[in-house]
Structure 1
Amino acid sequence: MNTAFRIIWSHTRQAFVVVDELTSARGKRSASRLLLAGAGAGLLAVAGPAMAAPACSGTTPTLSGVALTSTCSIEGGASLTVNGDSSITTAGTNAINTATTPGYWSTISNGGSMTSENGTAIAIGAGSGTSITNQTGGKISGYDNAIVLSGGASSLNLGAIANFGRITAVTSTGSAVNILKGAALYSMLNRGTISGGTGVNLNGGTIRTDLYNSGAITGDRFGLQVTNGSKVEGVIENTGLIGGKTAGINLALDDDGGSGTGSVGWLINSGTIKSDTGIAVQVDKGEITGGISNDASGIITGAIGIASQGTKINGPILNKGVIQGTAVGISVDGGSVKAIDNNTGGRIAGQAYGIILTNGATIDTITNSGIIGGALNSIKVDSVTSGSLAKLVIDGNDTARFMGAVDAKDTDVLLRKDATYTLTGGEAFTIKSFSNDGTLRVASSAGVTANFNGDYSQTGNGTLKIGVADDNHFGKLAVSGTATLQSNANIVVDVSNASTKFNVSHMDKVFSAGTLVSDGTFAVSDNSLLFDFGAIKNGNAIDLTLKAAATTPVDPVDPTNPTDGPGPSVEHVVNQMGNSPAGPAARALDRTFAQNPNGELASHFVGLTTGQQVSDAVTQTLPLLTGGTNAATSSTLSGINRVIQARQASNSGLSSGDAPAAEQNLWIKTFGSWADQSERSGISGFDANTQGLAIGIDGAFSEQARLGVAFAYAKTDIDSDSHVAPQDAQIDTFQLIGYGSYALAPDTELNFQVDAGKNRNQGKRHMPFADATAKADYDSYSAHAGVGLGHTLRFTDTMTFVPSVRADYTWIGDESYHEKGAGALNLDVDSRDAHELVLSLDGKLNYNLGSNTVLSANLGVGYDVLNESTSISSTYAGSPTAAFTTRGVDPSPWLGRAGLGLTHTLDNGTEVSVNYDAESRSDYLNQGASVKLRWAF
């Protein structure tokens, strides 16, 4: 990376200075404002006496393509440049010495290598002003120290260091950059790597403005140390890495006499400050005139995140990122901290303590809207050693968490106005008092009690919000001291868990105190749409009560146009949501809730908080597929009928135009269908897939008459299309069929069919709102009789057309059944009958593709004279006296059908045929395919 600078006049310094032109100002001191002081002062300096080797002599020595092996001494005011292809390497002496010439400003720019194998790479003499720039790719390495700034009691260096390359001290006791007592550096910038025993060591020295790091400063002991009365008058800002095994940053601000005269302005971190085994940020005595700020991307981590020992921190410790320790997050051991502010998203945590105060340490305020956690205590104020925390403030929109007990017995806690804080269960606050001026939420959390060891008060703005999962799992808060509640104290009950179930009318001791000061009046609100909670004072405790919301369902004069009762009745809600199919069930539920509001059936509806939830819940309680099983069974029977009718046509010769066969035949046919009922009149549709097998035998009893018998089995799988009320069913159909035909004339035939069957039905209704599934298992029976008349019109020798008329009557009867598995939500369903009488007109076109192959196509229309809509009468198991009738799809009387077929007769007389059929009715489409084999004997 090429680094460019620009020279400007500094009114403060009254000298030319160089600034990095690639960095923009950020509103606080940053890299763009770190002055590489004195870098341009050589433009005004007067050359001192020549003391250097020839390569380093003069005011602007430049090393290019040079490898020096002796010390390079530069005179005051000189500007030394070492290009990337050059090096200075010494064995037992310093690589570079600067003259001690007060008033002369020197610059050193290194793009190559400066190495002292047993000394210091760059030694800046006391009183000399020198700015050092280590360019990208540049290397400065010393044995004990890479760069040393020497100083006397009154000497000032006032240079600057900017590093873009690598600065290294070899020994574990040395420092890469060592600023000794009395030396002063105007500013320091690191965008490269600085490493050693200590990376940067202010050993009694001073940085007049800022130290900015966006690279890496690391050390075997300390990454950055400010010690022995050192001062950083501006900001220490880190956006990169500062790390050390003993401490990442060690601010040991006391001087040799222990008077604590050292100081730092602000420590700002948005990078990483860490110690593998020690303290990430250690502050020992002295003063931080500003504060410590850890931004959202900042990480401060070690055995202890931040440890302040006898230090006065005038400003706050602000955290938006992570401050964590394997032992303690923040430790304040003596001294004082103005405030600790843990913002939303911030985390202060330790395996033992989140924040601990010991040995007389004082903190005015801790404000938390993030997470403070510790296995022993989230906050520990050691009263034995006189630690003191005046106030703990909880802020944020339910973002604050204390992961571990708060032990601060002399501390006042304030839940700020408009803030929300949730006790998730098991929390313990040992405090002086807790003042609720916001919303204190006590979560259900399996009924675990939260404890305040101290006093509690609730202002007029304050709200106590109790989370309720069911009658055994609800939030509880216990106060050991005195709890003071104003008149009409605000209590909110949260039953937002839609699967909430209640079987009791009281929930005892949701709030209790050693002494409860209250006049017993409460302003209770809840989010249950159908039920109302109340609160009563019971000694030194508060209990919750539960009852159905005030409503009087009104029986309608016209059941198809129900009248809503006052209040949020179930019927009123489902009608508002446009859910008319659920209306009768909703009316039955209203009666049940009025008669037994604390019963098991009612208990499932307490946690419903919106009209949509109520409407969906009622829909989920409706009978299996809203009667759709009958439609699916009817469709399966129609498919079997088509199989038989096709066989009769083949027997009679109507398919091909040939004379009726006289032999006896055994046949077998496999068939399948896939049906789709779309939503109609607010009733969800379903998909049905059927696979089946039919086998039969028939023969001619005379030239005009044929008779046959067949058996068919079909399995149908049905899945509801509803995402609100997922349901499924399986139907096994067994059908015994008798059929025959009689030729009235050579081209005219009368055919008939009678059959009876049994169906085994199994179904499941899934009710997510109650986390329950109801299972049904019942039988149904069917009977069918049909008669048809067809006449063959022969257009050519290869083409015939067969118009026909037909009448089919079908009856399906379901047994009554009782569901299992869902308790009070099980349904007891009455038996029911379904009837259908369909008159049909069909036409079938046959075309001989060859002597043994016939292609056929048919088209027809039917009309159901009875056209019954399905309806089911049932009761809830939890309310056997409240019956309701659910109406299914209202079908259209008209139906249409079409089909294609191909029949081929083998030389041995075996017949193979394939067919495709489709039937449509009332947004219902059923498509089927079949393959048949027939053998003559």
Structure 2
Amino acid sequence: EVDAGAKLDGGVIKVGDSDSDAARLVANGEVAATAVTVNKDGTVDVGTTGKLGTEETPIPTITVDGGTLNSSGTTNASTLTVDNNGTVNVNGGTTDVGTTNIKDGTVNVASGATLDAGALKVGDGTGDPSTASLNADGTVKATDLVANKDGNIAVNNGGTVTATDSATVNGGAVDIAQGGTLNSGENGQNNFVVNSGNVNVEGALNASNITSDPAAPDAADDAKINVGSTGSLTLKPTGDQPLFAGLDTSKGDAINIDGALNVDVAAGNTATQADTAGITGTGTLNKEGDGSLVLTAPTNTIGTVNANDGVLTVDNGSKLNANTLNVGDSDNKPAIVNINGEAAAADVNIAKDGTLNVGDAAGSPAGTLNATNPISMNGGTLNVNPNATLTTPNIISPDTGDNEASTVNVANNATLNLNPTDGAKLFDGFNSAPGGKDAIDVNGTLNLNVASGTVTQPASAPISGSGEGTFNKEGAGTFDVKANNPFAGAVNVNDGTLQISDGGKLGHAAVNVKSPATLAVDKDGTELGSLNLNGGGTLSVTATPEGYAKVQVNGDANLNNGHLFTDITGSREEDLANGSFENVITTPNGQIIGDFADYDDNSHLFNFVPYITDDRKSVGLTPYSAGGDKSLANIADKLGFDRAVDAGRALDTIFKNSPASEISRLFYTIRDDKQAANAVLESLPTLAGASSQVIADTSKRLANLAKIYERCEDNVQQGDKHIWAKTFGSWGTQDQYQGAAGYRSESYGFAAGVEKCHQQTRLGVMMGYAYDHVRSRESVSDQRLRADTIQAGIYGNTPISSIADLDFRAGIGYSDVGTERNIKFANNRTAQGNYGNKIGYAGVGVNFNAFSSEQAVIKPFIRLDYQAVRNNHYTERGAGVLNLNVDASTNQSLVSQVGVDMKARLADKLSVNTRVGVGYDLVGEPASVRAAFAGAPDIKFTTKGAQHGRVSGELGIEMNYHITPAATLSVGYDASARKGYIEHTPNIMFKMAF
């Protein structure tokens, strides 16, 4: 042990003699020697104050031959050799060596320690892999660094290895952990040579280039560069040799980038990738510096390419595959990407300082770029140069505020293929309209394939271009043009539909429509440069409630072999003149050539026939009634709506006589039998004329409030009188029948009367009021009726034999009726009517006393009742030409009825009455009205209501509570029914003698 401050000058020092006994040299002071050997049983410890050699007098040779050298102070030697599994631990301080040979063993450089190794060889090429190891947790400096096939260099977290002059891997392994750094050159300015072996980077590797000797097919010669997900490989090539020169990935070499590959090319330099050195991986290629990088390998595949500055070129014959290609980084330093070969990326993003050139401006080489997702431009320039092809779903901009200028240029003979999905907006976010910063210039070919659905061109993104350009609409979907496009080339509509809406224009373009494609123009019309349907295409024009399509063709319009389709979804009356749609096509500077091969429309009831003016300057349309199977009468009959047939027949007559009349125009929009039938049903009178039946039911209900079948009791004194009052609520349901609307009614009312017994004859008078609210059911439209009815009558009962008595009643009334019906097919018009009904009724019956006791009375009866309801004439308002002028009419019934009336006394003050009857209408006329439309007052039709069937039934039950001998309170329930109709009427009555 050499204490601090002491010095050992030992000449040749051997520590250990390779036997089993341990030997140890501890240097806390200074040790000088001509040679130091540490055998396998020896250990040399250089303490923090110790010195093994000095800077002025280094030890010529230190050999760790199986032993261990631990240095925490200062070690200086001309040559350090580690052999026979020896170990050198640089635990602190500095170890400065001129030449370091790690033949067999390990050198560990701890964190905070420094090894200045001079010329450093790890492995001598004769041992197995990892026979020799350098583990750097601290700092290692070498002039020349070599890792032979049996050597391993590990640069651990926090460690740094710098080879100032050269760094070479000859079959060994270099592992750079996350947080570790290896520099080839003080600042990474030298090449890193990997002739064979593995370089694994999870930290940082900095070099000018990575090169290799010429590759050989032998696997032992493979050079493999692996940059892990946390690693970065930074290269600064100067252009004097290819990037990755000498590597051949087709012969077993590998360049795998799962982290970052940073290629920084200074201004004025061009770095060209070796064409044998293909890059693979999921990481990132960052192009930095103002110089140029040219990729020439047949295939480069990487996750992300960031062309931040300078120029990145994919050369002719090379292909770049990337998940993301970013052009520019918005630092205002120009970044250019040239695709002279082939590139494919899921995402392509262009920043404001970026330019993406697909192909060379001279037309050769011709590049190809395929982008899976829409290309995004936040400013910058996209050039598709002659003979080049760009394919992407869309080109969009997130710059909705128009802060940056985005420019798309498609040169002559270039091709841009766009395949947007359903619902997309073409060039979404661009503002290429006048005053906008963006530009879309197509002088080559733009192929737009809309496979399905609808793609829209916003008004803010018009396309410009000279007459050399071509726009091809492909795919079965619809392209909706809303922009005013200055494009002056050819627009070929080859498949699907090109829709022009909201004032969109192709005013300078030659528009060619081929079979089976369609050019559709909405109500706002459009302007075309010229129109050619000679390829068998279809022109579809639209008429809506806001107007109809008008197409101005600035050149000629060739209609030969073309088809015309008129889309009638409604029409505006003021757009019609002389019974026609005028100027559907106009050619102010050209002429109409030829004629349509055929024409069609989607109006079910009318045909719209094109005509050409004598000067062949314009095309118009004239409507004609379709008739035949498409007549409303036939449709109503076919669908079983018999009660609408006569109204349909009247409308058919109007259509035939006046196809351009106002009322006819309302039916232009009908597209099928169902819509046609619904339109007729909506045109019928409210409740299909059943209003008189509703009033008749109410009149009968009021008349039934008086108990006409009760006879005066034998013990009642002559001159006895009664007064009564009765109130009711009623609801009924009528089913629809043969197209006549059903309805649901609610009725409320009351009546009061006075009656007097003279001997056994009862005479009475009554007056009542009822309010009805009726709403349609099972109807295509909402229809309502309300009625206020007042009615007065007389009634009586008298014996005609010991077992029979006669009853009678008669009365008159008046009803004020209001109606409302919604006509949906005519833009939800509402027709309202008000009119009065006169009511009269009379009836007579015979009651037979079949059984009588103090507890019960059973009386069969027969009756005959007549009723008449007279509807006054009225005219509806609110629905224009669809208002109805309704004639006055009378609804009559004569009902014969049989039944039985039963009365039982349940207690001294409680009794119950039950009445059951079945009736038959001897007249059997359903309620009906005769009317005419205000738009055609001379053509009348008759409509019958939904009620049908002559047989009716009644059931009544009433509980009577005799409060006093002179006063009775009754609660009852009545029900009546006929085919398709049922009614429920609860009631309360108070009767008192006076």
Coarse TM-score class (shorter-chain normalised): 0.7 to 0.9
Distance 1:335 1:767, change over 3 A: closer
1:827 and 2:878 aligned: no
Structure 2 residue 915 is the aligned partner of structure 1 residue 838: no
Instruction: Show the 5 A alignment for 1:5-24.
Output: none
> 1:678 offset after TM fit, Å?
1.5
Per-residue Cα deviation, 1:816-853 (whole angstroms, up to 9, x for no partner) = 11122222222211111111122222334445454333
Question: Would the alpha carbon gap of residues 227 and 99 (structure 1) be closer, same or farther in structure 2, given more than 3 Å must change?
Answer: closer
Which one-letter code corresponds to 1:711 in the other structure? M
Q: Judging changes above 3 Å, is the alpha-carbon distance between structure 1 residues 660 and 853 closer, same or farther for their aligned structure 2 residues?
A: farther
Residue 814 of structure 1 and its aligned partner are, at CA, apart by 0.3
Aligned to 1:246: 330
Which residue number corresponds to residue 622 of structure 2?
546
- Counterpart CA distance in 2 for 1:854 and 1:93 is 120
Matched to 1:422, the amino acid is Q
Corresponding residue to 1:69 among 141, 151, 158: 158
Residue 360 to residue 490, structure 1, CA distance change in 2 (3 Å):
closer
Percent identity, aligned pairs only? 18
Counterpart AA for 2:321 = I
Q: Which amino acid aligns with 2:200?
A: I
Contact 2:794 2:810 in 1 (8 A): yes
Q: 1:546 to 1:127 in 2, by over 3 A?
A: same
> Cα gap change, 1:809/1:776 in structure 2, threshold over 3 Å: closer, same or farther?
same
* Cα distance in 2 between the residues matched to 1:125 and 1:357: 41
- Once the two structures are TM-superposed, the CA of residue 875 in structure 1 deviates from its matched residue by 2.0
C-alpha distance in 2 between matches for 1:857 and 1:708: 22
In the TM superposition, 1:172-191 aligns within 5 A as: 182=273, 186-190=278-282
The reply to whether residue 435 of structure 1 matches residue 494 of structure 2 is: no
- Structure 2, unmatched stretches of 5+, are 1-124, 141-146, 163-167, 213-222
Q: Report how far residue 96 of structure 1 moved.
A: 14
Q: Distance in 1 between matches of 2:802 and 2:406?
A: 103
Looking at structure 1, the residues matched to 128 and 733 of structure 2 have their Cα atoms a distance apart, in angstroms, of 95
What is aligned with 2:68?
A: none
Equivalent pair of 2:703/2:793 in contact (CA under 8 Å): no
Deviations 1:544-584 (A, max 9, x none): 24253486xxxxxxxxxxxxxx6854434444444332332
Q: Which amino acid aligns with 2:696?
A: S
Q: 1:936 to 1:390 in 2, by over 3 A?
A: same
CA positional deviation for 1:415: 2.2
CA offset digits 1:1-51 (Å, max 9, x no partner): xxxxxxxxxxxxxxxxxxxxxxxxxxxxxxxxxxxxxxxxx9x99669644
The alpha-carbon distance between structure 1 residues 67 and 919, as it changes in their structure 2 partners (threshold 3 A), is farther
1:641 aligns with 2:727: no
Structure 1 range deviating more: 319-328 or 594-603: 319-328
Letter in 2 for 1:399: T
Query: CA 1:503–1:519 in structure 2 vs 1: closer, same or farther (change >3 Å)?
Result: closer
CA deviation profile, 1:570-623 (whole Å, cap 9, x unmatched): 434444444332332233334334433333233333343434433333333222
- Corresponding residue of 1:102: 194
Contact 1:372–1:378 (8 Å) recurs in 2: no
Evaluate the alpha carbon distance shift between residue 125 and residue 210 of structure 1 in structure 2; reply closer, same or farther with a 3 A threshold. Answer: closer
Q: How does 1:408-557 map to 2 (within 5 A)?
A: 408-409=487-488, 411-416=489-494, 418-424=495-501, 426-431=503-508, 433-438=510-515, 439-445=517-523, 448-453=524-529, 455-459=530-534, 461-469=536-544, 473-486=547-560, 490-497=563-570, 504-513=578-587, 514-516=589-591, 518=593, 523-528=598-603, 529-549=605-625
Alignment match, 2:791? 735
Distance 1:59 1:802 in 2: 128
Q: Partner of 2:926: helix, strand, or coil?
A: coil
After superposition, residues 741-760 of structure 1 pair within 5 angstroms as: 741-742=797-798, 750-760=806-816
Query: Relative to 1, partners in 2 of residues 1:543 and 1:485: Cα closer, same or farther, differing over 3 Å?
Result: closer
Structure 1 residues 895-916: Cα deviation after superposition (integer angstroms, max 9, x where no partner): 1122343333457976443322
Pair 1:862 & 2:938 matched: no
Paired amino acid for 2:586: S
CA–CA distance in structure 2, aligned partners of residues 787 and 872 of structure 1: 29
* Structure 2 counterpart of 1:209: 299
CA contact (8 A) 1:705 1:743 kept: yes
Alignment of 1:645-724 (within 5 A): 645=707, 665-680=722-737, 682-702=738-758, 704-724=760-780
Task: Tell me which amino acid in the other structure corresponds to 2:210.
Answer: A
SS in 2 for 1:380: coil
Give the match for residue 390 of structure 2: 316
Q: Secondary structure at the match of 2:643?
A: helix
Matched, 1:619 2:681: yes
Which deviates the most, 779-788 or 153-162?
Answer: 153-162
SS in 1 for 2:299: coil
Matched, 1:234 2:319: yes
Query: Are the counterparts in 1 of residues 173 and 199 from structure 2 also a CA contact under 8 Å?
Result: yes
Q: In the TM superposition, what is the alpha-carbon distance from 1:79 to its structure 2 partner?
A: 6.1
1:379, distance to aligned residue in structure 2 (A): 0.8
Deviation of the 1:318 alpha carbon = 3.0
Matched, 1:403 2:482: yes
* 1:365-418 Cα shifts (integer Å, max 9, x gaps): 44464646465652112x6xxxx7432222344611333122233x222222x5
Instruction: Give the direction of change, closer, same or farther, for the CA distance of 1:660–1:371 in structure 2 (3 Å limit).
Output: farther
Decide whether the 8 Å contact of 1:904 with 1:912 is kept in 2: yes
Residue 259 of structure 1 corresponds to which residue in structure 2? none
Aligned equivalent of 2:821, options 762, 765, 779: 765
Tell me what 1:153 maps to: 241
Alignment of 1:863-878 (within 5 A): 863-878=920-935
> Are residues 147 and 847 of structure 1, via their aligned partners in 2, closer, same or farther at CA, if it must alter by over 3 Å?
farther
- The Cα shift of 1:813 comes to 0.6
* Distance change >3 Å, CA 517–CA 637, structure 1 → 2: closer
Matched, 1:53 2:136: yes
Q: 1:901 — aligned with what?
A: 958
Residue 587 to residue 689, structure 1, CA distance change in 2 (3 Å): closer
1:610 aligns with 2:679: no
Aligned residue for 2:949? Answer: 892
1:515 partner SS: coil
Distance 2:956 2:174 in 1: 99
CA 870–106 in structure 1, closer or farther in 2 if over 3 Å, else same: same
Separation in 2 of the partners of 1:389 and 1:652? Answer: 109
Distance 2:876 2:161 in 1: 98
Which AA in structure 1 matches 2:511?
F
Alignment of 1:904-923 (within 5 A): 904-906=961-963, 911-923=968-980
User: What is the correspondence of 1:926-937 to structure 2 with a 5 Å cutoff?
Assistant: 926-934=983-991
Letter in 1 for 2:463: I
Contact 1:378 1:402 in 2 (8 A): no
Note the C-alpha offset of 1:768: 2.5
Letter in 1 for 2:956: G
Contact 2:406–2:439 under 8 Å retained in 1: no
| Alignment RMSD | 5.0
Distance of aligned partners of 1:808 and 1:203 in 2 relative to their CA distance in 1, 3 Å threshold: same
Question: Aligned AA for 1:753?
Answer: R
Distance 2:439 2:971 in 1: 91
TM-score (norm 1): 0.74
- Would you say the 8 A contact 1:76–1:99 is kept in 2? no
Question: Does 658-667 or 611-620 show the bigger shift?
Answer: 658-667
Cα distance in 1 for residues equivalent to 2:369 and 2:883:
63
Letter in 2 for 1:393: N
Equivalent pair of 2:359/2:388 in contact (CA under 8 Å): no
> What is residue 579 of structure 1 aligned with on the other side?
641
1:499–1:607 CA contact under 8 A, matched in 2: no
Q: Take 2:834 and 2:199, find their aligned partners in 1: how far apart are those partners?
A: 95
